[in-house]
Amino acid sequence: MDLALLRTFVTVHRAGSFTRAAALLGLSQPAVTSQIRTLERQLGRPLFLRQARGVTPTSIGDELAHKAAPHLDALVEITETGLDDDSSLRTLHLAGPPEFTAERALPALTELTGEDGQGFALRASFGTAEETLEGLSAGHHDLAISTAQPRGPLLTATALCDEEHVLVAAPRWAEEIGTGQPDRRPEPALEKVPVVEVHESLPFVSRYWASVFDSHPAAPGTVIVPDLRAVLACAAAGAGLAVLPRYLCAPALERGDVVALHEPTVPPLRTYFLVVRTGTLAMPHIARAHEWLQRASADWC
């Protein structure tokens, strides 16, 4: 069986679309379609069901991808690193959310870089959970950190750690609205406070309100910045309230730059997952990084 056909097949399976696979492979869409048809004729079975938007693998297609993808990934790894492991470091491509990756994962993994015979070069990229998992499926990344747990056999996820979310604002807001009083539900007072968030949909604040207050936030977003570190800076400057991971805002809480507006008995949590393409943990540098992050995460929770 032609390895080029298998490579095209796995790319289509991961991308879920002939068009996206063609872009990833640098081929035309008709060429990708022709290769998939050739492979289907060789196997005598359909591999994909064509739909209005993309394609869905058949059971035979899923089975073939599950068997072939790890071996193709290993071959790509050989071509990328070369046959002489002593002449160059393997490269680990990591992807994840910008704040958690920058504050937690990268400092831990830099201990494994270097030319010690077991180290690797490190390349990182940031993105949303959807972007990160799509990139991992397409082979752009080796290891991904995601707040979404993927489905299907091509990606394998391991729970890494939970982060606690805290409702914070500058001290003047706590004084103005009088939060922290016992036996008092704080939502009415909090409606007076502007909101600082990462997106117009208020993902962090809405999740906190639903979990803690069983309601929806009434105030719209006043300041929208696409990075939690910028959210913290704006909240500390008095722009409004924000919901932030405790690991990110703990130093600011200790300094008094921000204060917790509410301390629920059961704080909202969000789980991070460590995700790889199924079978790629057979590659030593990916396995080592995977294990190292799991060990390091014991101190993050």
Tell me which of 3.40.50.12500, 3.40.190.10, 3.40.640.10, 3.30.1180.20 is the CATH number of domain 163-269: 3.40.190.10
C-alpha distances (whole Å) from 147 to each of 8, 33, 106 are 29, 34, 17
Number of H helices, E strands in the chain: 13, 11
pTM score, whole prediction: 0.72
Tell me which of 3.40.50.1820, 3.90.1150.10, 1.10.1740.10, 1.10.10.10 is the CATH number of domain 3-82: 1.10.10.10
Pairing of strands 143-146, 221-224: unpaired
> pLDDT 10s per residue in the chain (301 long)?
678 888 899 889 988 889 888 887 778 889 899 999 999 999 999 999 988 778 999 999 999 988 888 888 777 666 655 544 444 568 899 999 999 999 999 999 998 886 555 678 999 999 999 999 989 988 889 999 999 999 877 789 999 999 999 999 999 999 988 765 444 556 778 988 999 999 999 999 999 999 999 999 888 889 999 999 999 999 999 999 999 999 999 999 999 999 999 999 999 999 999 999 887 887 888 999 999 999 999 988 6
SS3 of 124, please? Answer: strand
C-alpha distances (whole Å) from 115 to each of 76, 87, 118, 187 are 22, 10, 7, 55
Fold for the domain defined by 91-160+272-299: D-Maltodextrin-Binding Protein; domain 2 (3.40.190)
| Domains 3-82 and 91-160+272-299 in one fold | no
In the chain, where the domains are located: 3-82, 91-160+272-299, 163-269
